Amino acid sequence: MGKLKIILALSNYDRHVPFFDGTLPVPEELELHTVQVGQSAPLKDGVSRHERMIREREFDAAEVSLSSYIMAKNRGMPLTAIPVFPRRLFSQSQAWVLADATITSPADLIGRKVGLSSFQTTLSVLAKGDMKWEYGVPWEKIKWCVNREENVSFKLKEGVSLERKGEGKKIGQMLLDGEIDALIMPHPPKAILEAGARVRRLFPDARAEETRYYRKNGYYPIMHILALKQELVDREPWVAKALLSLFEAAKKIYRGYYDDPNWSQLAWGRHYFEEEGAVLGNDPWPLGIKRNRANLERFLEYSLDQGLIDRKMAVDDLFAAPLVACSHKNDD
């Protein structure tokens, strides 16, 4: 029997370097082709990696938006996933306002215009949910403005204000021009990054707020998940565990990078690594279902509350059946 060829699409984060540099030991039964496909830049006919996987199922496996993946599963699209989460972000550091704005807390956003990349972007869903669950601010009372099309169609919740930006408008510039009052995006626009003292984060000490969030909730919020074609897992059930094992092996390799105090260009990169460990523990990037269950359950609640899915979903619904069965048998 020949090898099973797998095309895997990933961003080139530090945690994925072993997939690209040949240091990852791949089992003999797999012929793995890892392709670098950035998440933001349109790389094929103006379509992003998320869309290429979710809509077209172009790859055998790919890193995709957690939110869009959940919406796809809710609608019966032929996808499944393994409990690998290549991207994580807190929402608090990603919220920006003008430096001279009178906005000093989430409550001050009620009735104001807030820009998002899209309504269903994972960070957008997280931020809206955190507004309600963490800060008692109903996200429905905020006016939302987005700057791109949605990956998966949905029916907007009644009474919610949502508008697309005007033709030719850059959402970062809209904040600088006062056309919107705040901006929450996973990648701050270049205009914001270059604005210097003209802008500030909504939370004066976002790092302290995120530390509080982590200690309260016990997780660093998931942004992306590793999706697979359902037909692949149906045909080759063993491949789900094999791919998960590859990411487990990669994790052992990339954590060792930081043993070298000069691996990063940051002068105190090793110091930052140690400081983060003291705050977030030894592993804020856990793999597996059990250690991520609380995070996923909360995000599923957010998705249902925001009208992105039409029924309550269980965490186990998201993953390949062989891994779910193994998780319950071995208690993950």
Listed residue (157, 115, 206, 137) closest to 304, CA to CA: 157
Per-residue pLDDT band for 175 (boundaries 50, 70, 90) equals very high
Please check whether residues 184 and 241 belong to one and the same domain. no
Token pair 């055998």 is found at 60
Please check whether residues 52 and 12 belong to one and the same domain. yes
Please check whether residues 192 and 97 belong to one and the same domain. yes
Please check whether residues 188 and 245 belong to one and the same domain. no
Tell which of 181, 196, 215 closes a domain.
215
Q: Are 103 and 109 a contacting pair, CB within 8 Å?
A: yes
Q: Which contiguous run of DSSP H or E holds residue 33?
A: strand 30-36
pLDDT digits (tens, 9 = 90+) for 23-81: 999 999 999 999 998 755 444 555 677 788 988 889 999 999 999 999 999 999 999 99
* Angstrom distance (rounded) from CA 90 to CA 126: 8
Please check whether residues 102 and 207 belong to one and the same domain. yes
* Angstrom distance (rounded) from CA 116 to CA 92: 14
Handedness of CA 40, 45, 47, 49 (dihedral sign): negative
* Angstrom distance (rounded) from CA 72 to CA 187: 23
pLDDT > 60? residue 249: yes
Bridge partners of 35, per DSSP, are 9
Which ranges of the chain would DSSP assign to H, the alpha helix?
A: 17-20, 49-54, 66-74, 122-135, 171-176, 190-193, 206-217, 230-235, 238-255, 269-280, 293-305, 321-330
* Angstrom distance (rounded) from CA 101 to CA 52: 39
Please check whether residues 84 and 230 belong to one and the same domain. yes
Per the structure, the count of domains in the chain is 2
CATH number at residue 155: 3.40.190.10
**DSSP-derived secondary structure letter, 88:** B
Per-residue pLDDT band for 2 (boundaries 50, 70, 90) equals confident
Tell which of 215, 248, 282 closes a domain.
215
Please check whether residues 109 and 207 belong to one and the same domain. yes
Burial 177-214 (b: 16+ CB within 10 A, else e): eeebbbbbbbebbebbeebeeebbbbbeebeebbeebb
Q: Give me the pLDDT at residue 212, please.
A: 97
Please check whether residues 125 and 53 belong to one and the same domain. no
User: For strand 162-164 and strand 61-65, is the pairing parallel, antiparallel, or unpaired?
Assistant: unpaired
Q: What is the mean pLDDT of residues 273-279?
A: 94
Token pair 């890892």 is found at 34
Q: State which residues form the domain around 167.
A: 92-215
Per-residue pLDDT band for 172 (boundaries 50, 70, 90) equals very high
pLDDT > 70? residue 327: no
Q: Give me the pLDDT at residue 169, please.
A: 77
Q: Give me the pLDDT at residue 170, please.
A: 87
Tell which of 215, 238, 264 closes a domain.
215
- Tell me the CB-side half-sphere exposure of residue 232, using CA atoms within 13 A: 24
Token pair 């009178």 is found at 102
Q: Give me the pLDDT at residue 41, please.
A: 46
Please check whether residues 175 and 201 belong to one and the same domain. yes
Q: Which contiguous run of DSSP H or E holds residue 199?
A: strand 199-201
pLDDT > 70? residue 279: yes
Q: Are 322 and 237 a contacting pair, CB within 8 Å?
A: yes
pLDDT > 90? residue 150: no
**DSSP-derived secondary structure letter, 155:** P
Per-residue pLDDT band for 89 (boundaries 50, 70, 90) equals very high
pLDDT digits (tens, 9 = 90+) for 199-213: 999 999 999 999 999
Q: Give me the pLDDT at residue 1, please.
A: 59
Please check whether residues 99 and 69 belong to one and the same domain. no
